[in-house]
Amino acid sequence: MANNKISMKEMTKLEGARHVLGLSGGKDSAALAIYIKDRYPEIHDQVEYFFSDTGAELKEVYDFLDKLEAYLGKEIIRLSSGKDFDHWLKVFNDYLPSAQQRWCTRTMKIQPFEEFVGDDLVVSYIGIRADENRNGYISHKDNIKAVFPFVENGLVRDDIFQMLEDTVGIPEYYQWRSRSGCYFCFFQRQDEWLGLKRNHPELFEKARQYEQRVRTKYDWKDGEIPISGHGYTWSSQGTIDEMVERAEKREKESGIIASNKKGSERWQDTLKRMMDDDPEDQACLICSL
């Protein structure tokens, strides 16, 4: 396999290449689109901005994409696998996606992207920052070359927040969630499941229903028997009801308002001080940029 990671300088030598930038509805990919528009207008004119839509995104994500689309002055192309999550769940024998089995990423994010670009020579702009230690999604297809403008130009977390605050604002879901992605993302922390329950109770209930489906398997001794547990819950730590219960207990023990937070502090400022997720727990690298 050829080296698919190239520099901005090398990118300029690729004649006839398409330029694409995948948006997740999250802060870093949005800031990269803004950065390209403002810093490299000649590239912005060529870039095809796209969003891989699973149909299971939060309303706040769609609202933010609309604001970003207006700022960019260009269409954000919506990609899709053509089938909803329930279809793919049946294909994968009702086995819920997990960190070990990320079939949702593969079928609903990466495959639509690679079909979108086909065999064309493509430059894909990736929103990894200079202060991160991860690569993001780099295709194994030799015709897709990845560039990392933030890494090359030394932009870090504070720069990203400043760009967003100066333009389209920070996505609203960051008030209670640390990442973009599906409402049932299996990498959510316990307090984020609690945030989903409080902010979108109807979506929390849908996530519960997936866990509560009756699933059986055939045992030579006992015949058809029910199965449950990891692979049939969103997390190996238990059901989402159990995780919410732990989060509520922890919240009650520590106090709803943290002692080191001023009551008048904006949630955007609190977010800036928070640490990013562990780079090892990126649920789906193409959509968590």
Above pLDDT 90, what percent of the chain?
A: 63
Buried b / exposed e over 257-273, threshold 16 CB at 10 Å, is eeeeeeeeeeeeeeeee
The chain-wide mean pLDDT, for the chain, equals 85
Reduced to 3 states (helix: H, G, I; strand: E, B; else coil), residue 267 is helix
Confidence at residue 132, expressed as pLDDT on a 0 to 100 scale: 86
**Is the pLDDT higher at 119 or at 258?**
119
Distance CA 251, CA 259 (A): 12
Kindly tell me if the per-residue pLDDT of 121 is higher than 90: yes
Distance CA 51, CA 122 (A): 16
DSSP for 99-141, written as a single string? SS--HHHIIIIIHHHHHHHTTS-EEEE----TT--------SS
Of 52-66, 236-250, 252-266, the poorest mean pLDDT is in 252-266
Distance CA 68, CA 29 (A): 11
Confidence at residue 179, expressed as pLDDT on a 0 to 100 scale: 83
Q: Which of 181, 199, 178 is nearest to 56 (CA)?
A: 181
Confidence at residue 272, expressed as pLDDT on a 0 to 100 scale: 61
Question: CA-CA-CA-CA torsion for 283, 136, 22, 30, nearest 10 degrees?
Answer: 90
Distance CA 89, CA 95 (A): 7
Which alpha helices (H) appear in the chain, and where do they start and end? Answer: 8-11, 27-39, 41-44, 59-72, 85-91, 103-105, 111-117, 149-153, 157-165, 190-199, 201-211, 240-254, 267-273
Q: Would you place residue 289 in the very low, low, confident or very high pLDDT band (cuts 50, 70, 90)?
A: very low
Phi, psi of 75 (to 5 degrees): -65, 140
Average pLDDT over residues 180-206: 94
What tokens were used for 103?
Answer: 């079939």
Q: Would you place residue 225 in the very low, low, confident or very high pLDDT band (cuts 50, 70, 90)?
A: low
For residues 216 and 226, the answer to whether their CB atoms sit within 8 Å is yes
